[in-house]
Chain A
């Protein structure tokens, strides 16, 4: 540099010096940050703004609300017609016909000319449902105490089994504190395969008041030993007088319900209605058969009674809401923050109560549902309500004889009979409402961002959001291309793995 040249404000050496010092200071600051990082703090602040936590159940429940029985469930009533008639209840002819059509098509039918319903799609469905069918049997139709969901609380290992931990151990494990108990139970559930876990107090309002189970006890689970004389006698005397039980027959007093949600395959549900869509649901049901049973055995080995349950025992949606997993919605399902309504729910009832309970949370779903109506538009049978506000009573065409709707809870009531009629016609369990819901998205950053913005915005913006969702091409149903997309090897690239 000549003496006459004016030195620049920042030469290359200074630049490197400043850069080096800044990097060193930054690195030191980052490494010295405690576990509570800036990102976590920011996340907490955003969550506080968008998510409302409730001390009580977030929907109004009228004082005359009566918990349903498990046969106040359209599937239970249509699949167990003879047995329900045998206990003196009526079953309408349309339910019988729909149930028969559904079972026949789901079990035996496929059509190689029809996209989404060919033999390969049927095979996919069969494999997906296999674990549920084998180990939890009629649990999807709300029938309890079968297979892995057995109420049995053995006190010792089965004599003939090589390895058996499915019994309540004598020593009760003592957690240091409630939070530790909650953390460990949730971690166990996630290890076993749950996508979301919440813990809530047992609430008799959401339990079935009575249970129909017409299957003789000897046939409810694999035999661990030759049948005893008493078991053979019970089988011999089995009849309608023994079909119905209630909580007095339950082996312990449940204190806590652990609720789990299982994410169903996004591309699979997007094919709804089809056997592929039903396979996605079936894979969820098979998870529901496996994971809660594993968690029940885990609790038994901590020294506590536990019974796993899928759709049986109680209403999964209010339990999921109470456990903070999601919010109620127009389509009647719990909408979770991460997966929207695209989840299956299962529960474990236990007498363990030294645990930190979760609280119900809202993040704007019910507000959004007031304006959206995409599920109601997508439903071909118009089984989903178009009412702007939730109501205590059903408002649909069959409201006078809506034995299948719970009355006295302020919510959107779905006409389950209309819904089930379509199941009979299709031979699968539809799922178009779920597929069309704007909250049903892959777990991707831009959808989480839109959900958060939606939650923070007032009603009129929700109309725009709904329109944009449609314009952007999400939530299409009856899309034949979706089957190709499902089978494509690129199908799962969205999640970044």
Chain B
């Protein structure tokens, strides 16, 4: 194998982080985030990326249960946070 699992992971994390920053920037331009929307979106994006990194790493080290737990403990709360941030952003935008 030319690229090892950990190399692919960190390359993917770079792509994910860039996408996350881009999306937050794009929606901020569109919806003008409030402070709570900024906080929840940044926290949610960070937790999502962290959860993906955790799960991927756990698969690499051969611990599938740790990977699933990583998805439950980090990724599900991150999705809730991101949905919440969307709601906050939309509420502010429509409230204008």
Chain A residues within CB distance 8 Å of chain B: 267, 442, 444-446, 468, 471-474, 485, 488, 490-491, 493-494, 496-497
Distance in Å: Cβ of B17 to nearest Cβ of chain A? 15
29 residue pairs from A and B, CB less than 8 Å apart: A267-B62, A442-B61, A444-B60, A444-B61, A446-B54, A446-B57, A446-B58, A471-B69, A472-B58, A472-B65, A472-B70, A473-B63, A473-B65, A490-B62, A491-B62, A493-B4, A493-B5, A493-B60, A493-B61, A493-B62, A494-B60, A494-B61, A494-B62, A496-B4, A496-B5, A496-B6, A496-B7, A496-B60, A497-B4
- Cβ-defined partner of A472 (8 Å) among B5, B6, B63: B63
A485 cross-chain contacts in B, Cβ below 8 A: 62
New A-B pairs, 13, CB < 8 Å, besides A444-B57, A493-B4: A444-B61, A445-B57, A446-B54, A446-B57, A472-B58, A473-B63, A473-B66, A474-B66, A493-B61, A493-B62, A494-B61, A496-B6, A497-B4
A374 CB to nearest chain B CB (Å): 16
Task: Give the total of B residues in contact with A, Cβ under 8 Å.
Answer: 18
Identify whether the interface residues of B are mostly helix, strand, loop, or mixed: helix
> How far is the CB of A404 from the nearest CB of chain B, in Å?
36
CB neighbours (8 Å) of B63 from chain A are 472-474
A468 to B61, CA, bound (A): 17
Q: Does B47 contact A (CB under 8 A)?
A: no
Cβ-based interface call for B53 (8 A): yes
CA distance A491 to B63 in the complex (A): 11
Q: Interface code B9-37, partner A: CB below 8 Å = 1, 0 otherwise?
A: 00000000000000000000000000000
Which residues of chain A are near B54, meaning CB under 8 Å? 446
B7→A472 contact, CB < 8 A? no
What residues on A are CB-neighbors of B65 within 8 Å? Answer: 472-473
Measured in the bound complex, the distance between the Cα atoms of B63 and A267 in whole Å is 11
CB distance from A444 to the nearest CB of B (A): 6
Q: For residue A496, which residue of chain B has the nearest CB?
A: B6
Chain B, residues 37-74, CB within 8 Å of chain A (1/0): the string is 00000000000000001100110111111100110010
Q: How far is the CB of B28 from chain A (nearest CB, A)?
A: 16
Q: How far does the alpha carbon of A89 sit from the alpha carbon of B88 in the complex, in Å?
A: 79
Residue in A closest to B64 when the chains form the complex, CB atoms: A473
Q: Across the interface, which residues of A come within 8 angstroms of B73, CB to CB?
A: 468
**A494 contacts which chain B residues (CB < 8 A)?**
60-62
Given contacts A496-B5, A497-B4, are A472 and B61 in contact (CB under 8 A)? no
Q: Considering the chains assembled together, what is the distance between the CA atoms of A497 and B62 in angstroms?
A: 14
The CA of A488 and the CA of B61, in the complex, are separated in Å by: 12
Measured between beta carbons, the chain A residues less than 8 angstroms from B58 are 446, 472
